[in-house]
Amino acid sequence: MRSKFDQMKVEVKESIDGEVRTFIITLTGPAKEFLMADLLRQRKVIDPFNRQVKQTVRKAIERYLSTAETLVSTLSTKRRRMVRSQTSERGNGDVTQIAVRRLKYSQSIE
């Protein structure tokens, strides 16, 4: 027997228009599965579903961008170490350092 969570579907579409990237997230599932939660929300026992989804998506975006920045930072650090350990063509120990800029992104996600 399938659980109620197996019946939920998530679809994500993305598009880029100039400088703006848009994600359209569609969640579908049987309406009957939401009845109890909707009643509790109406009585203000639990937070509205859309608030919980927004918080979850914000956290996912933060993790996604942070992971990318950490990876790039780690790779650039390893690259600097490799460059520093090499000697010049003249063999006199001169070191050429390649500067790698860090990626920046807005910390506030609203």
Which has the higher per-residue pLDDT, 21 or 2?
21
**Which of 62, 69, 58 has the alpha carbon at shortest distance from 104?**
69
Which has the higher per-residue pLDDT, 37 or 109?
37
C-beta of residue 89 within 8 angstroms of C-beta of residue 65: no
SS3 10: strand
What pLDDT band is residue 99 in, cutting at 50, 70 and 90?
low
Q: How many Cβ atoms are within 10 Å of 82's Cβ, its own excluded? A: 10
C-beta of residue 79 within 8 angstroms of C-beta of residue 67: no
* pTM tops 0.85: no
Delimit the domains of the chain by residue range.
Answer: 9-84
